[in-house]
Amino acid sequence: MGLIEFTFAVLLISILAGLLGALTGLGGGVVIVPALALLFHIDIRYAIGASLVSVIATSSGAAVSYVRQGLSNVRVGMFLEVATTLGALVGAYLAARVSTHAIGIIFGIVLLYSAWSSFRHQQNEMPHARNLLAEKLKLTGDYPTEHGREVYTAQNVPAGFGIMFIAGILSGLLGIGSGAVKVLAMDHAMKLPFKVSTTTSNFMIGVTAAASAGVYLGRGYIAPGLAAPVMLGVLGGSLLGARLLARIRVPILRVVFAVVIVALGVEMIYSGATGRL
């Protein structure tokens, strides 16, 4: 495959990754890292480096639209970013000390667990439930629905904060923006509405990825020729996904979320275990 064909193929895959990332809050990295490693046989650390750059672009592109629509909760996002940024620095430090085979297997396990958790408990959203700690920190908000704006309050704040630290470690180690874990933390642990969880995740992942990307850049794992088409494609896909999100029902988002990451999770575990990564 020539350079032009390679760049065009990476661009197309990146557009699809960005579209999916914007719709589910995954950030696109969960698609782009396996695609670069498995389809194009790129060293997984360089794939992670390119993914982190694209995650920043995804967050920047989609977050503006989500905030404008009143879906993202900026205060919740910035509070949880304290945990994810610290975790991202830890993960990026570990990345150079963990083999690519192990990274692939860890990646796959995280994705499979995320898919299982998304259907393990279909929570009943409690938009009016009170929580003293959340109210003191002002981790409340409202979002648009078919029946008007509904009010919600975050629950289980300490548990959500702790899970976000783990999400940050996975972001630095795997280059996925940890959107999958962030969505589950906000949706299940903190009982936020699903659309608020996905959009706030998109708002957060850019900050988390930026912390990790600095470490990868210093180690030479970000190749401009690869990162550029990945970033442009994911950004374009994320902008399209942001426009589509308001028209798509939550159950459909959950199905897309689960099906895609199960397929990628199985493939990453197999490739890591067989030495293909």
Q: Are 103 and 170 in contact (CB under 8 A)?
A: no
Note down pLDDT in tens along the chain; length 277 residues: 688 899 999 999 999 887 877 676 566 777 788 888 888 888 888 988 898 888 777 676 666 777 777 788 888 988 998 998 898 888 888 877 888 788 888 878 877 876 776 565 455 455 456 778 888 888 888 887 777 788 888 888 999 999 899 888 887 787 766 666 777 788 878 888 877 887 888 778 777 778 778 878 888 889 999 999 998 998 888 778 777 776 766 667 667 767 877 887 887 788 888 876 6
pTM: 0.70
Please report the pLDDT score of residue 230 as a whole number. 92
Please report the pLDDT score of residue 115 as a whole number. 72
Please report the pLDDT score of residue 226 as a whole number. 93
Kindly list the domain boundaries of the chain, sorted by start residue.
3-273
Please report the pLDDT score of residue 124 as a whole number. 47
CB atoms within 10 A of CB 78: 13
